């Protein structure tokens, strides 16, 4: 793997910006849509992922033998930043490139790396995340989906919920209980699940926006081959915690660029507001600039990931609420801004609820006593 130098990264940044401009001019680039792939952009996003792969702009820090370029994570950071500046999607979806891909590189066998990494980079293999359950959302240790060992396979039964793009995904990263008698965090295993296996049923959930980004997924006696296990049997909790750390820190420095764009939009929105509206925007700007400074100073510190996630989720929700207030009666009309208002409550849930983030900050960052267990 190459090492990153300041001069080398500057040159790479210029190359990245040029590629993105040319791809946009050619009509190949897919517009940014955040961590969750919007169903309407499913096909354009797949074509964009393939275009990037064909031109050598995917898996920048992934090994060359698996389709990457063998560069550094700093190069990937530059790619993310320049995609944010250009308003272009940096990858097909977070669940595949960041969560599944990094987990397979970190924990997978050589056979698993060969089977899954390159197709993930080309966009042939779309992934979904199968963690949350109706009775185990933020408390993943309490999940009830069971994969019972049966010779050289596991028989999977249970249910997952809030799985984005499960209706399109070829594979999913799955947590299921394989040792029912073990302490709850030690009896969980991590699987790479083929979504086409008999017994897997996906039911899209219609949201207030009318879209169907999220799904329920049901498992009815699904026979999962033993080679689908990622890592050790019963060791899935450690694999999953590393995956969730990847999820919380996935935006990196591009998140600062996105935040500063939002702050500029807030200033524009306050132009015709009255005194109370301007005060509300000023409060948001103060919080946003403080968050941007925190992310710039401590973004590489993994302990800051839950702090940034919490602050950004709450700020995003309040941004939409203030923006809706400033629009007045027009906020009741159909359109992208109204969709954003209807979508906003999900900001406090996706990627770990705000309540759970506060617990993580209190217990793991500040060293406070654990929350009493019922």
Supply the residues annotated as catalytic: 247
Nearest to 253 by CA among 72, 77, 60, 98: 77
Q: Round to the nearest angstrom and report the end-to-end CA distance of the chain.
A: 48
Q: In whole angstroms, what is the distance from residue 110 CA to residue 152 CA? A: 19
Angle between helices 254-269 and 275-298 (to 10 degrees): 170
Q: In whole angstroms, what is the distance from residue 250 CA to residue 23 CA? A: 24
Burial (0-12, 13-18, 19+ Cβ within 10 Å), 81: buried
* Segment (H or E) for 202: strand 200-205
* Segment (H or E) for 221: strand 214-225
CB atoms within 10 A of CB 328: 9
Contacts of 181 (CB under 8 A, 6+ apart): 187
Torsion over CA: 287, 354, 338, 95 (sign): positive
Contacts of 26 (CB under 8 A, 6+ apart): none
Residue recorded with tokens 């302990």:
303
User: Where do runs of H (alpha helix) occur along 328-367?
Assistant: 336-343, 354-360
Asked if 361 contacts 307 with a C-beta cutoff of 8 angstroms, the reply is yes
Buried b (16+ CB within 10 A) or exposed e, 178-192: bbeeeebeebbbbbb
Q: Following DSSP, what letter does each residue of 64-104 receive, concatenated?
A: GGGTS----HHHHHHHHHHHHHHTB-SSS-HIIIIIIHHHH
Asked if 247 contacts 94 with a C-beta cutoff of 8 angstroms, the reply is yes
Asked if 248 contacts 306 with a C-beta cutoff of 8 angstroms, the reply is yes
């Amino acid at each position: 793997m190459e090492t990153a130098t300041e001069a080398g990264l500057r040159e790479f940044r210029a190359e990245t910006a040029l590629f993105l401009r040319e791809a946009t001019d050619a009509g190949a680039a897919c517009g940014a849509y955040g961590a969750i792939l919007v169903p309407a952009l499913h096909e354009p996003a797949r074509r964009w992922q393939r275009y990037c792969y064909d031109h050598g702009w995917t898996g920048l820090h992934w090994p060359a033998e698996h389709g990457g370029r063998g560069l550094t994570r700093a190069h990937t950071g530059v790619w993310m930043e320049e995609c944010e500046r250009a308003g272009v999607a940096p990858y097909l979806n977070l669940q595949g490139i960041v969560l599944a891909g990094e987990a397979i590189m970190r924990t997978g066998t050589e056979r698993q790396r060969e089977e899954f990494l390159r197709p993930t980079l080309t966009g042939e293999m779309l992934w979904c995340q199968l963690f949350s359950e109706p009775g185990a959302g933020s408390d993943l240790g309490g999940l009830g989906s069971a994969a019972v060992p049966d010779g050289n396979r596991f028989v999977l039964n249970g249910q997952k919920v809030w799985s984005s793009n499960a209706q399109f995904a070829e594979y999913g990263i799955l947590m299921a209980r394989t040792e029912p008698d073990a302490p709850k965090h030690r009896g969980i295993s991590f699987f790479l699940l083929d979504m086409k296996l008999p017994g897997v049923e996906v039911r899209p959930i219609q949201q207030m926006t009318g879209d169907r980004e999220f799904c329920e997924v049901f498992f009815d006696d699904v026979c999962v081959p033993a080679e689908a296990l990622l890592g050790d049997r019963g060791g899935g909790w450690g694999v999953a915690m590393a995956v969730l750390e990847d999820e919380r820190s996935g935006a990196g420095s591009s998140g600062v660029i996105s935040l500063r764009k939002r702050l500029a939009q807030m200033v524009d929105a306050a132009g015709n507001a009255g005194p109370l509206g301007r005060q509300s925007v000023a409060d948001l700007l103060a919080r946003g600039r403080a968050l941007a400074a925190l992310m710039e100073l401590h973004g590489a510190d993994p302990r800051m990931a839950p702090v940034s996630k919490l602050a950004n989720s709450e700020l995003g929700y309040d941004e939409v609420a203030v923006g809706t207030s400033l629009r007045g009666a027009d906020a009741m009309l159909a359109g992208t801004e109204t969709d954003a208002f209807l979508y906003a409550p999900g900001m406090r849930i996706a990627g770990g609820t705000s309540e759970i983030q506060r617990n993580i900050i209190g217990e793991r960052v500040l060293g406070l006593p654990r929350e009493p267990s019922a």
